[in-house]
Amino acid sequence: MRRVCACCFTSSSPNIKRQNPNSDKPSQSSVVTMRTTQQNNATQLPKDVEETPAKLSPPRAANILQNHDFSMGLQHWHPNCCNGYVTLAKSNNLDEASHSSCARYAIATDRNECWQGLEQEITNSIIPGITYSVSAIVGVSGSLQGFADVLATLKLVYKDSTINYLGIGRSSVLKDKWEKLDGTFSLSTMPDRVVFYLEGPSPGIDLLIQSVEITCASPNEMKKSGKDNASDENIILNPKFDDDLKNWSARGCKIVVHDSMGNGKVLPQSGKFFASATERTQSWNGIQQEITGRVQRKLAYDVVAVVRVFGNNITTTDVRATLWVQTPNSRDQYIGIANVQATDKDWVQLQGKFLLNASPSKVVIYIEGPPSGVDILIDSLIVKHAQKIPPSPPPSYENPAYGFNIIENSNLSNGTNGWFPLGSCTLNVGTGSPHIVPPMARDSLGPSQPLSGRYILVTNRTQTWMGPAQMITDKVKLFLTYQVSAWVKIGSGATGAQNVNVALGVDNQWVNGGQVEISDNRWHEIGGSFRIEKQATKIMVYIQGPAPSVDLMVAGLQIFPIDRRARLRYLRTQTDKIRRRDITLKFSGSSSSGTFVKVRQMQNSFPFGTCISRTNIDNEDFVNFFVKNFNWAVFGNELKWYWTEPQQGNLNYKDADELLDLCKSHNIETRGHCIFWEVQGAVQQWIQSLNKNDMMAAVQNRLTDLLTRYKGKFKHYDVNNEMLHGSFYQDHLGKDIRADMFKNANKLDPSALLFVNDYHVEDGCDTRSSPEKYIEQILQLQEQGAIVGGVGIQGHIDSPVGPIVSSALDKMGILGLPIWFTELDVSSINEYVRADDLEVMLREAYAHPAVEGIMLWGFWELFMSRDNSHLVNAEGEINEAGKRYLGLKHEWLSHASGQMDGTSEFKFRGFQGTYNVQIIVNASKKISKTFVVEKGDTPVEISIDM
């Protein structure tokens, strides 16, 4: 019987609910296939593999296999419980079976069973009753005497979990010789999954594959079947309603085809007809088309629809494209593709992207969204395989002038020249402001000139947005990160705390440059940042915020581009101090001076984790990247209350259980996110409708059900998410409910650390979640008896500046609690800039002594809560941000070598984690041992018995 291991499992599709429109969860996602290339010769196989992306090129039209010649690395192929890579070499030992003297071929290595090799799923490309021909160029390498058999096989998976294997062909192969493998197959019925793979040689023998083709033996039969695999064709049938409503159906309403509406005021945008979804009574009512069999697993698809709305006196409303997927075990999944604000005045374009991780039994795309009574009009719908978009080149900064203040007359030596009042307020110059540069800017600039002590006094303010302004259009360079710094103060007469904001108007769009809340008559520092990524015709900076009639004072405003290189050099030094320790290996037994010692760190045990979701684990490429590059996980939605109990008493823990099983099988620790969510928009309607007593009972039931079921399985819990930004449970159940949640959670699972968790704590752009307010909240919880075990900083950040982040961490560090970045992501349309942002955040966190873990909020395109934040592109290519992450993970491994000293000791400096040490006594005697270095910064001695 063929054995199944964790790296090649498959599982049923998840039961995905409609996503709550909050930013704290991943969006629908795409798939990753690792691609590797290696330069070498044909007879000497490479030992180390460098992962590099390959250019995307479509497979040959007649061949149903994707990437049949490995021109895209291992894209679309999966090593079945072994390792694999692609090499490009000029081979001198190819025989006549080879088609080329310059062969790119795949190698399946580290094979422990004869059935291990390379596989590719072909479910959506197979039609029952059609005969297919298989042709492959294969070889073998390794310690081999005589011939080895290479087999082509189909794995057929059925709904009842039955698995059958169908042999297609066999070829006997000599070492370092290419042979041709041929065969045919035909399926009388269609399984749920069809996987093609090559296998056969004995364990320890590498399997080589130069190319593989599976073609229809009778093309006329294929043509008659209507099967079309052309990736550039629209998979929507009758997309412009030229054939009336053929292939379309209504979703809970009525659909009609028109050539015009509204007495000729509504006409098709293109073509002759459009359709309407009318008599709608629910927001999900609309027009739909089934695309089962025309959409393939693990391929990204672009969706473009032309839509508008009509009727019920509505002028604008949300229109959405959604995918309904039914899995073979009849679980329903809803995937949000895109949304747009549609109007009753003109046609608008709805654009989005989706990808299926699993093999569904049914797929339907539909248009929905407006409230009942509003008609949805659709002019056309296009769904095509997404074309690869080349990445933008790294930005080129001509004379960036790092550290140079772009604000004119910042010290006010020329009065208010260069400044103008925004609105009808009045600007004057006063004296008596601080002479020192604010701390966060000082950390960025280093030694700098003192400030003048002069400030702008803003009076006669009649609107909150009134204040001093300056045009900086020609001074801002695209993709440069700018730091913002100023001293601000407010006049008397304010009622309550006042928010002061350095803002930018970028072509009439507001950009946040930093905020601070003021409730006294002291000078306060504003520290923030921004970056412009699209060319603007007008950029204005202005200071605003206090209530009308409250005077505003602004001193020493500086906006300057930052050079991150000096900061990164400092962080490398700081990382060595904080994360590495002196290690002495003391050898006992037959050791002697001069014995050679080689130490390699296998794994850094510092927590580097990521968000995952149930849909992800149907994609074996996602799983491979996840388990190789992360040691902690958090679930995007599957533990949240609205997921585990969408309707009262209807409990769903299946998705969380399956995610936990995956993590446990790979020794990956997990965080529990989250028990409650304080923001009202994330609270189920059935909870919101309860009276106080019933709501209190529901809260206690939630605690008991969740923490009893998973006792000891989650290392952390975010107890009540985002308490700085929401107050639903406190408003309904009283001021003690938050502390009670912590106290009861601790009683139910004393082993779990209980966290607070919130966003914008680290970036200076949100006065509701300043470090000071976060500290105040935590202290209040502790005073009420809450056992707060950790501080969660989400880290959804734009244009990060190291000293600003570090300043927030320093402030939070005074609590003495472990700080975790719990949901870190960065976003930029340029993946090189995104990589820089990610490096800034990872280095700042890793170099800070109070930070004890870093969790990314996902890594795979289409499964992220923010656009342009992924590390791996939709169909598997690691982008520049992903490469930067992997590079840092490699940098944070310690290696050392040298000779044992006269006291049988070997000393080096290393990170926490697992190590392998090789002791080379002589040419014939080598000893290998493993040891673990625990977290700490003091010297440590480790005894190794030889």
How far apart CA 810 and CA 708 sit, in angstroms, is 36
- Looking at 254-331, which runs of residues are DSSP E strands? 254-258, 274-278, 286-290, 300-310, 316-326
- Residues 6 or more apart from 649 whose CB is under 8 A from it? none
The pair of structure tokens assigned to 242 is: 């030229």
Q: Mark 388-417 as b/e (b = at least 16 C-beta within 10 Å).
A: eeeeeeebeeeeeebbebbbeebbbeeebe
Q: Are the C-beta atoms of 635 and 612 separated by less than 8 Å?
A: yes
Helix axes 802-813, 831-846, angle to 10 degrees: 30
Name the region of 935 (left: φ>0; alpha: ψ -120 to 50; beta: rest). beta
Interacting residues of 779 by C-beta distance below 8 A, sequence separation 6+ = 815
The DSSP line for 385-452 is: EPPPPPPPPPP--SS--TT---STTTT-TTTTTT-EEESS-EEEEEE---SSPPHHHHHHH-S-PPP-
Residue 818: closest CA among 797, 847, 788, 798: 788
Q: Is the peptide bond before 216 cis (omega within 30 degrees of 0)?
A: no
823 belongs to the catalytic site:
yes
DSSP 8-class letter at 615: G
Of 199, 213, 722, 762, which one is the catalytic site residue?
Answer: 722
Q: Find tokens 């009009």 and name the residue.
A: 377
- Enumerate residues 6+ apart whose C-beta is below 8 A from 936: 581, 912
- The full length of the chain comes to 946
For strand 36-39 and strand 50-51, is the pairing parallel, antiparallel, or unpaired?
Answer: antiparallel
Residue spans of alpha helices (H) in 226-334: none
CA distances from 664 to 620, 667, 696 (A): 16, 5, 33
How many angstroms separate the Cα of 569 from the Cα of each of 497, 564, 581, 798, 804? 39, 9, 19, 22, 17
Phi, psi of 574 (to 5 degrees): -65, -40
Q: Which residues pair with 505 in a beta bridge?
A: 510, 540
Cα–Cα distance for residue pair 678/179, rounded to 1 Å? 64
Q: Which token pair is 329?
A: 């075990």
Q: Catalytic pick from 213, 638, 669, 823? A: 823
Which residues make beta-bridge pairs with 303? Answer: 352, 383
Q: Is 378 helix (H, G, I), strand (E, B) or coil?
A: strand
> Helix, strand or coil for residue 933?
strand
With beta carbons less than 8 A apart as the criterion, state whether 614 and 14 touch: yes
**Per-residue CA distances from 178 to 137, 170, 204, 214, 545 (Å):** 6, 14, 19, 19, 74
d(CA 641, CA 651): 9
Amino acid occupying residue 667? N
What is the three-class DSSP state of 352? strand
Residue 689: exposed, middle, or buried by beta-carbon count in 10 A (0-12, 13-18, 19+)? exposed
Longest dimension (CA), the chain: 99
Mind telling me the catalytic residues?
722, 823
